[in-house]
Amino acid sequence: MRDMLTKIAAFGYAGLIYGFIFLPVAVLVLFSFQDGRLPVPPFNGFSLQWYEAVFADRKLMAALANSFLVAIVSSVIACLLGFLAAYALARYKLPGSALQRGLLIAPMTVSYLIIALGLLTVLNTFGISLSLWTVGIGHVVINLPLCFAIIYSSMGDHHINIERAARDLGANDFKVMALVTAPMLMPSILAAFFLSVTFSWDEFIIAFLLSRFDVTLPVEIWSLLRSGLNPKTNAIGSLVFLVSVALLAVLELTLFGKTKKS
């Protein structure tokens, strides 16, 4: 009887929290189909007009492409630099390696707003104009610590002998890295890459402060918000959500599902 009660209490609580977590998203998606000008109750009926409006919006579509570009390029750079640094610090004895690790991780503990503001003051002073490149530079700054930490923490010592074997067989460092180390660490490299893609894709404040004419999607959505409650915002929000969830499902079923079994 008491077990029964705690069970009911536990699942009741979980249900409430799940309800809290899902409420805004459910409302967002539901009213993206609103047949009317306001994305609030009453629900007037099902319509795809706001999705049509999203796809017809040139600025939104350009921002979508920009976001994609910035996310991919900055994540590739962050992963590459993070991997090289992790390899050097895990496999060689370098003076001040603890300090170097600390320096590489440091941006993680600083608010994005401060990172953006620092870059902005420097760019302003040197008269460098803002563009997608400056946004990308900022995104590498925030993603490099993440990529470094993930890859570094997966570089276990048990891989060293395999790398030594490759070196004894005449492979140079780059060959060892590209043909031995990287394939062995592929799950964590991919995890780092996809995490940093999502972070960059979703990042607002750096993209807002460091861009001018070409903007990324979150910045374009931000300017949509000025028009108040608008089903078009619901539609683009729902689209981003569905794409992310689809991506997540694919990753879960292929990449992470596999690594779990092995």
Question: What is the footprint of other proteins within residues 43-102 (CB under 8 A)?
Answer: 81-82, 84-85, 87-92, 94, 100
Q: Tell me whether residue 179 or residue 245 sits nearer to other proteins (CB atom).
A: 245
Q: Tell me whether residue 214 or residue 241 sits nearer to other proteins (CB atom).
A: 241
- Give SS3 for 85: helix
DSSP sequence for 203-235: --HHHHHS-SSS--HHHHHHHHHTT-S-HHHHH
Q: Tell me whether residue 117 or residue 166 sits nearer to other proteins (CB atom).
A: 117
Question: What is the footprint of other proteins within residues 109-168 (CB under 8 A)?
Answer: 109-115, 117-122, 124-125, 137-138, 140-141, 144, 148-149, 152-156
Reference 193, options 105, 79, 84; nearest CA is 79
- Site size toward other proteins (CB under 8 A) is 88
Contact 92, 160 (CB under 8 A): no
Question: How many whole angstroms separate alpha carbon 105 and alpha carbon 108?
Answer: 6
For residue 215, what are the CA distances in angstroms to 20, 33, 97, 189, 244?
Answer: 32, 27, 38, 28, 20
Contact 104, 166 (CB under 8 A): no
Minimum separation from the CB atom of position 52 to other proteins (A) = 19
Question: What is the footprint of other proteins within residues 160-199 (CB under 8 A)?
Answer: 173, 198
With CB under 8 A as the contact rule, the residue among 8, 13, 35, 186 that binds other proteins is 13
Q: Tell me whether residue 76 or residue 117 sits nearer to other proteins (CB atom).
A: 117
How far from each other are the two terminal CA atoms of the chain, in whole angstroms?
A: 42
Does 222 bind other proteins (CB under 8 A)? Our answer is: yes
Which residue stretch of 44-52, 53-61, 105-113, 159-167 sits at the interface with other proteins (rule: CB under 8 A)? 105-113
Question: How many whole angstroms separate alpha carbon 220 and alpha carbon 59?
Answer: 8
With CB under 8 A as the contact rule, the residue among 74, 135, 163, 237 that binds other proteins is 237
- The set of residues, in sequence order, having a beta carbon less than 8 Å from that of 128 and lying 6+ positions away, is 134
With CB under 8 A as the contact rule, the residue among 245, 250, 253, 254 that binds other proteins is 245
Which residue stretch of 50-58, 162-170, 178-186, 242-250 sits at the interface with other proteins (rule: CB under 8 A)? 242-250
Per-residue binder mask for other proteins (CB under 8 A), 16-45, x = binder: -xx-xxxxxx-xx--x------xxxxx---
